[in-house]
Amino acid sequence: MSTTSYAVAPPPVPSVPVIGSGQRFPVRRIFCVGRNYAAHVREMGGDTAREKPIFFTKPADAIVPDGADVPYPSATSDLHHEVELVLAIGQGGVDMSVEAAEAAIWGWAVGVDFTRRDLQAEAKSKGQPWDTAKAFDASAPIGAITPRSAVPRAAGHIRLSVNGAQRQDADLSDMIWSPTEIVMAASRLWRLMPGDLIYTGTPEGVAAVQRGDKVECAIDGLAPLSFRMV
Ligand code: MN
């Protein structure tokens, strides 16, 4: 048996701590849902009619786990926070049924989908892709994952504060598409795999952060997330 010889060092596996164990959850891909809370759709000037969920992606190594500092990215002067429920996929599959989609969710976390809002507005106006607005380095801070064996259903408040001032405060029941519906929809577009994360969209109250800001996020029943912008 020969050992593979890599031309450059192979990248490390990005991972997120799991609450209540010494284990970490290995991240394979990051999917994100846009426009999943009606009040946020309205604040972005959109139409709240229920259409198919909109997906975009980030690279797996965009995560910032363990409450590490988040570097303010290049090429923007309007970096917005979007607090979101994150699904951690433990069982893969395609064209999932309701039951399969529920069983596929291994755990939950609170995360932030950071957005270069100025670049997103430019992309939207020109009909260009969102990658530079969404899929940049360190654009996906995430708290520790709570297994579904401990919390069978994510429910209750989702909130984010900056320097102690509340910016986003909503209820997960305000989501247009439920976690199960999101997993089903994603499984019609990709073969979901263990290690995939799905950021499920943000409620209203998105706004800019600056270097030095302290950002605190929470979802009832899940491990909180706190980090500083540097
Ligand atoms: Mn988002």
Q: How many angstroms is it from 101 CA to the middle of ligand 1? A: 21
Q: How many angstroms is it from 144 CA to the middle of ligand 1? A: 19
Which pLDDT does position 1 carry in this prediction?
61
Residue 2 has pLDDT above 80, yes or no: no
pLDDT band at 190 (very low <50, low <70, confident <90, very high): very high
Q: Which neighbouring-strand residues pair with 55?
A: 33
Q: How many angstroms is it from 151 CA to the middle of ligand 1? A: 23
pLDDT band at 217 (very low <50, low <70, confident <90, very high): very high
Which pLDDT does position 106 carry in this prediction?
98
What confidence tens digit (pLDDT) does each residue in 128-183 have? 999 999 999 999 999 999 999 999 999 999 999 999 999 999 999 999 999 999 99
pLDDT band at 40 (very low <50, low <70, confident <90, very high): confident
Count of C-beta atoms within a 10 Å radius of residue 226: 13
- Report the distance separating Cα 159 and Cα 171, nearest Å: 8
Which pLDDT does position 38 carry in this prediction?
87
Q: How many angstroms is it from 218 CA to the middle of ligand 1? A: 16
Quick one: DSSP state of residue 93? B
Q: How many angstroms is it from 4 CA to the middle of ligand 1? A: 38
Residue 30 has pLDDT above 80, yes or no: yes
Residue 191 has pLDDT above 90, yes or no: yes
Ranking 5-9, 37-41, 69-73, 208-212 by mean pLDDT, the lowest is 37-41
Q: How many angstroms is it from 38 CA to the middle of ligand 1? A: 13
Which pLDDT does position 134 carry in this prediction?
98
Residue 118 has pLDDT above 90, yes or no: yes
Q: How many angstroms is it from 202 CA to the middle of ligand 1? A: 5
Contacts with 194 (C-beta within 8 Å, 6 or more apart), sequence order = 28, 89, 90, 91, 92, 106
Q: How many angstroms is it from 9 CA to the middle of ligand 1? A: 32
* Token reading at 112: 């932030």
Q: How many angstroms is it from 113 CA to the middle of ligand 1? A: 5
Q: How many angstroms is it from 27 CA to the middle of ligand 1? A: 18
Q: How many angstroms is it from 166 CA to the middle of ligand 1? A: 18
Q: Write 8-15 long-range contacts (CB < 8 A, 24+).
A: 11/61, 14/60, 14/61, 14/63, 14/65, 15/65
To which H or E segment does residue 116 belong?
A: strand 115-116
The superfamily in CATH containing domain 25-229 is Fumarylacetoacetase-like, C-terminal domain (3.90.850.10)
Report the percentage of the chain scoring pLDDT > 90: 91
Q: How many angstroms is it from 97 CA to the middle of ligand 1? A: 25
